[in-house]
Structure 1
Amino acid sequence: MAIHSPACPDPLKPRRRGLRLALAAALAPLLQACSPLRVINALTPSDTHTVQRGVPYGDGERQQLDIYRPAQPAPHAPVALFFYGGSWSSGSRADYTFVGEALASQGIVTLVADYGLSPAVRYPGFLQDCALAVDWALARLPDWGGRSLCLVGHSAGAYNAAMLALDPRWLAGVGRHPSALSAWVGLAGPYDFLPIGMPEVQTAFHWPDTPPDSQPLFHARRLQAAPPALLLAARQDVLVNPQRNSVALAQALEAQGVAVELALLDRLSHATLVGALAKPLRGLAPVLPRVAGFIRARAQPLA
């Protein structure tokens, strides 16, 4: 393998990289604070995209999404639909401007969707909301010049994406099938969490009457086919164990012949895994290039 060195190396490049890493390290603890996302969003560039907010995909109060389009739109752009986390009991699309900007800056039309939250909406209601958002997005791909739809989720949102990709019941409810998806991306997702210990999650899933088939891993071990998957997790995640969840799901999908990529990333936590998509935190780990590259590589015309 040939190694090419620039003819005129930039002597400040290592210093700039060091400054970016220092900034990311300084900002990372904010993502663990009470209202950290407002700080991250305040530092998010506005010249990389345009945004259309509060677009309804259904009639419910929380059935709305925001659309982030690249500032330089391209024909046949991939489209990503992002579901955020929050233990199925908290969260707002307004908190994830940094995700919309990050993917739009990479040429990906990005939808950031709200969905019903517990206790008002419990399993499987939030999955039905997400399925409705998928149906809405698929029907409008030509409007954005899109050619494929990839689901992306963090934490509880990764669970939502996994269930839509692996359990055909939810998309069947809106007349669709997982084969309509080009791929899906799970960031620090909980894919096997029975028995349930967290009180808010117990409420969301009717514990102790939670059905075994509410778990993505249950379906991964039984499916015949599924969209390709990219699973990223923080190696030291203390909230969602990466071995039990991301690693086990990747192994199950691979055993069934499903294309899957897995990476456990260092220097990240459960929260900073998604936070690393934000421009001020991108020096922590290459989350954005991994996610954006995967979405672009899997983009293809839909049948």
Structure 2
Amino acid sequence: MWKSKLKSTKDRVLSPYLTAAKERLEEFRFYDVASHHLNRLTSREHFTLNADLSYGEHARQKLDLYKAKSPRLDEPLIVFVHGGTWAHGKKEDYLFVGESFAKEGFNVAVINYRLAPEHKFPDYVNDLVIALNYLEKEKQGLNLSTENIILMGHSAGGFNIMSAIYSPYESALVCKHQVKMVIGLAGPYHFKYMGDANLEQAFDLSLDYKEVMPYYFVEKNDIHHVLLLASKDFLVAKSNTLDMHDKLMEVGNISIIKTVPYTGHITLVGSLSSYTSRMFATKAEILTEINKCLGEA
């Protein structure tokens, strides 16, 4: 009896902690460790941070704005969208991205968006559109230029930025003509999600993938597209980037593919940090293409 009562009491005491630990373990991903260490190594001297700006009413509809202390004359704005299979990730993990480009004179907005499985396509794409409209509306109060917008997304975030431009739905993006570049890092743009539980949770299974993928809605525009591949990416198939590039070129759009040596799916985005960019070509390639696009050599 005493043993039984003790066990019951112990279980009641431990269960909240075990539950919390289990939830943290389920949310854990390898890139959490990588981003944590990169952020610890990241300087805070090149930017001022406006954190947790609400662009909508949902708790996930927030963004962090990194304002460059020494901005470029053309005042470009990078809007970065994280990956995580549309079910994981948070803006705070990417402080190293904000700092790395603020250091080069860019203002950088890093956004959160609503996550699967509670939210499915197109909710997370709509959140990017809402965030961009918010930045356009509030630009004076934020002392921000939106004349040269650069969309940058990694993995699932790459899908989001491409879908914000190429969508089966009528776009509500009010500043679409101000988007000068789209930079996709190992993005999935043309794939079938049926049969993969991790992917199925992010999409309405009543929709055929051809009704969803940005690949099928590409149209002519003046946006410069830079599609980056990791040389050792074993997570997202290379065909996504190759197919998207071919479709963009087919309609006469500007598209460039770059393969970054010695990078995998996660290290590709990690290589953007000021600390690691000396060892990888990722950031240098991006800056070169931005300067070509914006005409600042």
Give the corresponding residue for 2:159.
159
Specify the alignment match of 1:256 in structure 2: 251
For structure 1, the 5+ residue unaligned runs are: 1-30
| Structure 2 counterpart of 1:39, from 37, 47, 59 | 37
SS at match of 1:169: coil
Alpha-carbon distance in 1 for matches of 2:128, 2:277: 28
**Residues 1:236 and 2:232 aligned together:** yes
Q: How does 1:215-294 map to 2 (within 5 A)?
A: 215-220=213-218, 223-225=219-221, 227-242=223-238, 244-294=239-289
- Structure 1 residues 177 and 145, CA, compared in 2 at 3 Å: closer, same or farther? closer
Residues 284 and 198 of structure 1: is their aligned pair in 2 closer, same or farther, counting only changes over 3 Å?
A: farther
Give the structure 1 partner of residue 76 of structure 2: 78
Provide the secondary structure at the position in 2 that maps to 1:117: coil
Shift of 1:297: 3.6
For 1:146-185, list aligned pairs within 5 A.
146-167=146-167, 169=169, 172-174=171-173, 176=174, 178-185=176-183
**AA at the equivalent of 1:163:** S
CA deviations on 1:282-302 (whole Å, 9 max, x unpaired) are 1342111222333344348xx
Measure, in 1, the Cα distance between the counterparts of 2:194 and 2:206.
8
Q: CA deviation at 1:251?
A: 1.4
Q: How many residues align?
A: 265
Distance of 1:98 and 1:280 partners within structure 2: 9
Q: Secondary structure at the match of 1:254?
A: helix
Q: Distance in 1 between matches of 2:138 and 2:286?
A: 23
What whole-Å deviation, never above 9, does each CA across 1:184-231 have from its counterpart, x for those lacking one? 1100000111144431210111236444121121123xx233622110
CA contact (8 A) 1:78 1:295 kept: no
Does the Cα contact within 8 Å between 1:234 and 1:269 map onto a contact in 2?
A: yes
Alpha-carbon distance in structure 1 between the residues aligned to 2:119 and 2:31: 26
Percent of counterpart pairs with the same letter? 26
Q: Which residue of 2 aligns with 1:7?
A: none
The one-letter code sitting in structure 2 at the alignment partner of 1:261 is I
Query: Structure 1 residue 119: deviation in Å?
Result: 1.3
Question: Whole-Å Cα distance in 2 between the matches of residues 57 and 216 of structure 1?
Answer: 24
Gaps of 5+ in 2: 1-28
**CA deviation vs aligned residue, 1:22-72 (integer Å, no higher than 9, x gap):** xxxxxxxxx946522111100011112111100111111111100011121
Which stretch has the larger CA shift, 156-165 or 198-207? 198-207
CA-to-partner distance for each residue in 1:64-92, whole Å, 9 max, x for gaps? 10001112134431001110000000010
Q: Distance in 2 between matches of 1:133 and 1:299?
A: 23
- In the alignment, the residues of structure 2 paired with residue 77 and residue 197 of structure 1 have an alpha-carbon distance, to the nearest angstrom, of 44
In the alignment, structure 1 residue 295 sits paired with structure 2 residue 253: no
The letter for the 2-side match of 1:258 is N
| 35-44 vs 160-169, which moves further | 160-169
SS of the residue corresponding to residue 100 of structure 2 reads helix
Secondary structure of 2:275's aligned partner: helix
TM-score, length basis structure 1? 0.81
- Tell me the alpha carbon deviations over residues 231-280 of structure 1, each in whole angstroms, 9 at most, x when there is no partner: 001122110111x1111211111111101111112100000110001122
Secondary structure of 2:150's counterpart equals strand
CA contact under 8 A between 1:178 and 1:226: conserved in structure 2? no
Indicate the RMSD between aligned Cα atoms, in angstroms. 2.1
Q: Note the C-alpha offset of 1:114.
A: 0.3
Determine the C-alpha separation between the residues in 2 that align with 1:295 and 1:213. Answer: 31
Whole-angstrom CA distance in 2 between matches of 1:148 and 1:141? 13
The 3 A distance-change label for structure 1 pair 257 and 213 is same
Give the AA of the match of 1:152.
M
Letter in 2 for 1:165: I
* Separation (CA, whole Å) in 2 of partners of 1:118 and 1:245: 21
Residue type of the partner of 2:237?
N
Q: State the AA in 1 paired with 2:159.
A: Y
